[in-house]
Each structure stands twice: as structure tokens, then as C-alpha cells.
Amino acid sequence: MTDWSLETLLRSLHDDISGRLATARKTFAHSVTKGDASEAVWLELLQKYLPMRYRADRAHVVDSRGTFSDQIDVVVYDRQYSPFIFHFQDQIIIPAESVYAVFEAKQSISTAQVEYAQAKAGSVRKLYRTSLPIPHAGGTYPAKVPGHIIAGILTFESDWSPALGDSLLSALAQGTGDRALDLGCVAAHGTFLCDEQSCYTTEDTDRAATAFLLELIARLQTLATVPMIDIRAYAKWLKV
């Protein structure tokens, strides 16, 4: 027999995230400082709880043709098979092939913030991704088609009433193709999830952050491994 409770553990994880987001919102007066603090809370959650094959950072994404994305608040990317990542001071540049997911982290969700996150998702998904055949002991696997890049938005509060009602679903419906969002969390209220047909919301004030984390991990599992990057495609820029 044991006194451990999985339900309590999962709820406690949410309480920790939600509490720190609330503290950032109440404590810091400067909007940029407040935003940076909230972003750091989400990054720490993913850095701590995602499997070790993944990393999460604020970053720009670049492709082998020299096109850069906008700066993304949270990029989930591969570090097991992707050697090409550039760090300078606090700036991180990640090759497009390495990206699994991108999120914008904001204080509160609104139509404007959903549109902003949709635009950021589009700036990453439009990038070109290389893919090479994969050698193995028995021969060579064909080059993998680059997978879907998950995109979403992470906030503490909502500007709408109800917080996760028709206004949210209407805003999400405006993002199609490369701009579509897949999932997100409004920690004080619940989560939203989307598939190819529609989006739906789940109100869960006690476990929203944990529910988001577990859903993200489940979706990452379905993506398997990123494609084999063509390093020589990037090396061509040494000759420009």
C-alpha cells in the first residue's frame, strides 16, 4: 500500500504552473517583463517534463534557402538528430528540419493574440525542409516526408466571456493551412484541441496545464522522428 496519488500529482503540477502565471500577471507592472516571466514559466514546464530527445527554447527558425521565421516564444525541437543549432548571446537559431512544435506565450487569449499566433505558425511552416535517405545496416530507408509542425498558443487568462466559448472557436476557425493552430492552454480555464475538421474546448480549471502537457507529448509521439537534415544544403552558404 502507498499514500501516493497520481490524481494529486497531476493536479499539483497544474497548480504550480497556474500559480506562477498568476504571480507574473499580478506582480510585474511592465508588460514586457510580465510577458517574459510568463513565457519563462511555459518554457520551464516543457524543458523539465518533455522527454530528453526534445528541447524547448525561444528561437528563430531558418531554412537552407536562408529564409528566417519570426521570433517564436516557444519552439520544441529535436536535439538527438539535429546538430546544426546556432547560439549567440540569448539568440538561438534552429534549422527548420528540427522543429516539432511552435507556441506563442501570452498573458491572455483574444482574437488579436490568436491571429498573432496563427501568423507566427505560418512563418515557420512556410520554411523549406530538406530530407535525405536514411542509411541503416541493411540498406537505405527512403527520405522521410517532413511531418506536420504542431502550433498553438499558451496563456493564463482569457479576454472573452465565456473564456473558451464561441469567440475562441470563431478566431481559431480563421486560421487555415499553414496558419492553423492545433492546441493551446488557457491555464485558468482549460484547453482547446483541433483536428482537420474542427476545434473543441475542454473546461478544466484544476488540471488544464497538465492536460495540455500530456496532449502535447501524445501528439509528439505520433510525429516520430524529424527528417534527416541535409547539412550540405546549409554548407552551401559558406560559398556565397
Q: Which amino acids are annotated catalytic?
A: 73, 104, 106
Is the torsion defined by CA of 226, 227, 230, 234 positive or negative?
Answer: negative
The closest of 132, 134, 68, 103 to 215, measured between CA atoms, is 103
Identify the DSSP state of 175. -
Report the DSSP beta bridge partners of residue 176.
Answer: none
Separation CA 87–CA 73 (nearest Å): 16
Which single residue is written with the C-alpha cell 504552473?
17
Question: Across the chain, how many H-helices and E-strands are there?
Answer: 6, 13
Identify the DSSP state of 236. G
Q: At 190, which helix (H) or strand (E)?
A: strand 190-194
The identity of residue 226, as a single letter, is V
Find the helix packing angle between 6-27 and 208-223, rounded to 10°. 110
Residues 122/127/128/131 CA torsion (nearest 10 deg): -80
Report the DSSP beta bridge partners of residue 183.
Answer: 152, 193
CA 27 to chain centre: 26
Which are the contacts of 201, defined by CB distance < 8 A and separation ≥ 6? 164, 165, 168, 169, 190, 191, 192, 193
